[in-house]
Amino acid sequence: MARNQSHQHLIRGEAQLVSPWFSNQWSLFNQDVEIARLRRMPRLYISTAQFPDGTEWTIEPDGFAVVKAIDAHGTEVAQITRRSWWGRRWDVSGTGFAYELVSDPIPRRWRFEVGGSPMAEIRGSLISYNTVTIDAPLTVPTSAAILAWHVIARPWEAAAAPRGLVPRTAAADSAVVTATDISTQL
């Protein structure tokens, strides 16, 4: 599938993904500015991302242990693929970047690496992933951070086959689902 090269959202410095307890709504802040709103739809095993400029992505499984970010035109923005049996190592790639997402021995800590060298650190709070902090001394694509959040905070969704537990129809298989489509159906 072709990858989207037209638009790249970036994170610089410290960013936070924040959600109230038991909520499916998340906000991604970078330097105290909201740069994306995310919404989990657990029954469909997908999430959506909406950006202030109107860009929308759907984050969905694409086979066992593969998750893709797809834009509103059906073009792949980025993908993450599990590389270890226990889900402690993932490959994240998109236009112009490729990282390994590696679990730290300290609980709720992860890092993006290139060739074994850390590029950014991701950490959850002491008891949950309702607040996820990303410390990126170098610029990191937002798509990499969002896909990392999806597999770290909700690993069972990332491991699921696409809509594996949801009945499929011919119409659903042929349609491209966007964040706008989903919000108008609710």
Residue 52's CATH number: 3.20.90.10
Mean pLDDT of 68-89: 91
Q: Is 64 inside a domain boundary?
A: yes
State residue 171 phi and psi, 5-degree precision: -65, -40
In which domain, by residue range, is 141 found? Answer: 12-160
Q: CA 58, 21, 32: angle at the middle one, nearest 5?
A: 70
Place of tokens 């042929």: 174
Residue 91 forms part of a structural domain: yes
pLDDT over 90 (residue 69): yes
With respect to residue 143, please indicate whether it lies within any of the assigned structural domains.
yes
- Residue 8: what pLDDT? 63
Query: Helix (H, G, I), strand (E, B), or coil: what is residue 53?
Result: coil
Decide if 108 is inside a domain: yes
Q: Which pLDDT belongs to residue 172? A: 43
Mean pLDDT, rounded, for 57-74: 90
Single-letter amino acid code for the residue at 90:
W
Q: Is residue 111 part of a domain?
A: yes
Task: Give the C-alpha separation, 169 to 178, whole Å.
Answer: 17
The percent of residues above 70 in pLDDT, for the chain, comes to 78
Which band of pLDDT confidence, cut at 50, 70 and 90, is reported for residue 72? Answer: very high
Q: How many residues does the chain have?
A: 186
Residue 155: which of 97, 84, 58, 78 has the closest Cα?
Answer: 84
The total number of structural domains that make up the chain? 1
- 114-148 pLDDT, tens digit per residue, is 988 899 999 887 777 788 899 998 899 999 999 99
90 domain residue, yes or no: yes
